[in-house]
Structure 1
Amino acid sequence: MLIGYARPYSSDPHCEEQFKLLTNMNCDKIIRDDHFTSNQGKNLKNMMNSLSPGDTIIVVKLFAFADSIRHLAKLLNAIEDKGAKFLSLKEDIDTSKNIKGSFKDIIYRIVEFESDIISEKTKKGLSEAKQKGSIPGRPRVPDENVNRAIEMYQSKEYSLSEIKNETGISKTTLYRYLEKKQ
């Protein structure tokens, strides 16, 4: 049996793209979790518990299946122990065949997976911060300090280090505001 597995992530929050690709792979059934983190996915656990020998789990990308390299290794071991197979479309990983590619290629796929993990966690953190009303990025400099720094600069009586010491405005920030005024 071909079993597709999908879960939301930032670039496919409703799993639409994953469903399209898994349908094209002629999956007998597609299982979806609603959680952004696979460790919380009860459908993933149920799928893993009900695997039979000869089944193949298909995912669009590794990040849709696991949250870390350790978690991925645990899931792949469980699949192998049950006599099932695993296929990840994006990374071109198919456990029913001999490993395709050089050691360098394998490491590149692992690095790409790790990059997806970091990217998803960053996007999730930014989203949560915005929901709480926090504005990400550097805090804005109070306008009075900027105006004072511009006045000091234009008077040509102060050096850049004196302006920075007096107002707290760096040279780069000062020049950025001067460009906006022109």
Structure 2
Amino acid sequence: MLVGYARVSTGDQKLELQLDALRQAGVEKVFTDKVSSAKVRPGLDEALAYVREGDILVVWKLDRLGRSVKGLIELVEGLQKRGVQFRSLTDSIDTSTAAGRFFFHMMAALAQMERELVRERTNAGLAAARARGRKGGRKPKMSESKLAAAKQLVDAGNPATEVATHLGVSRATLYRSLSKLKDITVIS
């Protein structure tokens, strides 16, 4: 039996392309995930629990199955120990043959290299942006004016909960922001 698995990383991405390809390949049962995490993939867990000896687990592309060469190899070897083969449609991988197994290992290594190159380019871009004075991350909730107002209100003896509510921030944000300033005593 052909058992399919499809995954997209974010909620705004669509599974249709993968599902159409799996159906066209003759897949009878499909499991899906809409998660980016490599650790929590309930659809893959269900698919792995469902497949039996003689079945073939089919994916649209190798990177839908795993993120590291080690993880992919362990997963496919685990399937083979159970008598389950693996097939990737766009990568033309079929582990039921010796050539397919060899090609699987080559493609898994290439997929990992591609991810590492993307990571390197991203880190280089972030470093270049930092060198130009750009700072990433979220904008601070406490602007300089809010911080000055918070300091005045706290110095005047107002409770932290009231000050935080007045400024529209959480008490934790207020404490964190004020802790960066010296000589502040916050009254809870």
TM-score strictly above 0.5: yes
Tell me the amino acid that sits aligned with residue 112 of structure 1: L
Task: Report the Cα distance in structure 1 between the residues aligned to 2:25 and 2:119, rounded to whole angstroms.
Answer: 29
Question: Which residue among 91, 94, 111 is the counterpart of 1:113?
Answer: 111
Task: Report the Cα distance in structure 1 between the residues aligned to 2:21 and 2:76, rounded to whole angstroms.
Answer: 21
Question: Are 2:68 and 2:108, in contact at CA under 8 Å, matched by a contact in 1?
Answer: no
Match of 1:80 in 2: 80
Secondary structure of the residue aligned to 1:30 is: strand
TM-score (ref. length: structure 2): 0.57
Task: Report the Cα distance in structure 2 between the residues aligned to 1:116 and 1:63, rounded to whole angstroms.
Answer: 10
Tell me the amino acid that sits aligned with residue 95 of structure 1: T
Question: Are 1:86 and 1:96, in contact at CA under 8 Å, matched by a contact in 2?
Answer: yes
Aligned length: 130
Secondary structure of the residue aligned to 2:51 is: coil
Tell me the amino acid that sits aligned with residue 98 of structure 2: N
**Offset of 1:46 from its aligned partner?**
2.0
Question: Are 2:5 and 2:43, in contact at CA under 8 Å, matched by a contact in 1?
Answer: no
- C-alpha deviations, 1:8-34, integer Å up to 9, x for none? 147x92222211211110110111012
- C-alpha deviations, 1:29-85, integer Å up to 9, x for none? 111012123421012112212221111011111110012111112211221121111
Secondary structure of the residue aligned to 2:53 is: coil
Match of 2:57 in 1: 57
Question: Are 1:61 and 1:90, in contact at CA under 8 Å, matched by a contact in 2?
Answer: yes
Task: Report the Cα distance in structure 2 between the residues aligned to 1:100 and 1:114, rounded to whole angstroms.
Answer: 18
Task: Report the Cα distance in structure 1 between the residues aligned to 2:32 and 2:110, rounded to whole angstroms.
Answer: 23
Task: Report the Cα distance in structure 1 between the residues aligned to 2:20 and 2:117, rounded to whole angstroms.
Answer: 23
Alignment of structure 1 residues 157-172 onto 2, 5 Å: none
Q: Identify if the C-alpha distance between structure 1 residues 120 and 39 changes in structure 2 by more than 3 Å, giving closer, same or farther.
A: farther
Q: Identify if the C-alpha distance between structure 1 residues 44 and 119 changes in structure 2 by more than 3 Å, giving closer, same or farther.
A: farther
Secondary structure of the residue aligned to 2:8 is: coil
Q: Structure 1: which 5+ residue stretches go unaligned? A: 127-134, 143-182
Question: Are 1:63 and 1:116, in contact at CA under 8 Å, matched by a contact in 2?
Answer: no
Secondary structure of the residue aligned to 1:113 is: helix
Task: Report the Cα distance in structure 1 between the residues aligned to 2:94 and 2:48, rounded to whole angstroms.
Answer: 17
Task: Report the Cα distance in structure 2 between the residues aligned to 1:114 and 1:5, rounded to whole angstroms.
Answer: 20
Q: Structure 2: which 5+ residue stretches go unaligned? A: 135-188
Matched-pair identity in %: 24
Task: Report the Cα distance in structure 2 between the residues aligned to 1:121 and 1:13, rounded to whole angstroms.
Answer: 21
Task: Report the Cα distance in structure 2 between the residues aligned to 1:23 and 1:45, rounded to whole angstroms.
Answer: 20
Cα RMSD for the two superposed structures: 3.3
Tell me the amino acid that sits aligned with residue 52 of structure 1: R
Alignment of structure 1 residues 98-109 onto 2, 5 Å: 98-100=98-100, 108-109=106-107
Question: Are 1:56 and 1:84, in contact at CA under 8 Å, matched by a contact in 2?
Answer: yes
Alignment of structure 1 residues 32-181 onto 2, 5 Å: 32-100=32-100, 108-118=106-116, 138=129
- C-alpha deviations, 1:72-112, integer Å up to 9, x for none? 122112211211110012222101122159x7x66652342
